[in-house]
A and B are shown apart, each in its own frame.
Chain A
Amino acid sequence: GESVGLHLPTLSVQEGDNSIINCAYSNSASDYFIWYKQESGKGPQFIIDIRSNMDKRQGQRVTVLLNKTVKHLSLQIAATQPGDSAVYFCAVLNQAGTALIFGKGTTLSVSS
């Protein structure tokens, strides 16, 4: 079946650094990808999404890069702030288009 995996379960950075969180997916036919941020005790919060007809999309301080050749997705956070500390999930739309398949998450810790 379809799966999503993350390269690192934890990432620690200093305030002001750029952060990069990586994700790999299994299905080359996947056409929609999304990143969520989840703080303790809260539901996942939408950050940014990208479709397979693009390889890069930018938001406010965040950029998502999609490499379909190697089935790799990354989230870049510029000038990381303590408020960015959370668990970050990448998710992929399933083949049926009815559900998101999530990875296990990367815990980002930002120290000031």
Chain B
Amino acid sequence: GAGVSQSPRYKVAKRGQDVALRCDPISGHVSLFWYQQALGQGPEFLTYFQNEAQLDKSGLPSDRFFAERPEGSVSTLKIQRTQQEDSAVYLCASSLNRGADTQYFGPGTRLTVL
């Protein structure tokens, strides 16, 4: 498909476990973003990559959250020692050019921490 894909679509973790969420952006898109969406809320920004460079990580809620995009395409969001408050949908988006304008979103990964 030509859109943004994310895996897994659903993830259940026990409190304290580490999780890794994958994002495959649209081919050729320079910019990649991660957002967190709590139930009934709008997406909240976590971090932004331009190619392989992480230019903004101001939205990451704690040092348990880590994101990478080593080759400027696929990205992974890792959450260490998960807590119940980490339960949310994690959305990935990509845009063609530098900057954050027209972003195309993936379906999200729903993380549930028990």
Contacts and interface: CB of A to CB of B under 8 A. Distances in A.
Interface string A32-58: 101010000111111001000000000
Interface stretch (B11-19, B36-44, B63-71, B79-87): B36-44
Interface in A61-94: 89, 91, 93-94
A45 to B, nearest CB: 7
Given A102-B42, A104-B42, A43 B106 contact: yes
Interface in A11-42: 32, 34, 36, 41-42
A43 B45 CA distance: 14
Contact of A101 (B45, B91, B93, B103): B45
B56 to A, nearest CB: 4
Most buried by B among A4, A44, A97, A99: A99
A46 B55 CA distance: 24
Nearest to A6: B42
Nearest to B46: A99
A66 to B, nearest CB: 15
Interface residues of A, number: 25
A43 B100 contact: no
Interface in B88-114: 91, 93, 99-108
A43 B107 contact: yes
A98 B100 contact: yes
Please provide the 4 A-B residue pairs with the shortest distance between their CB atoms, ordered closest to farther. Answer: A102-B42, A43-B105, A99-B45, A98-B56
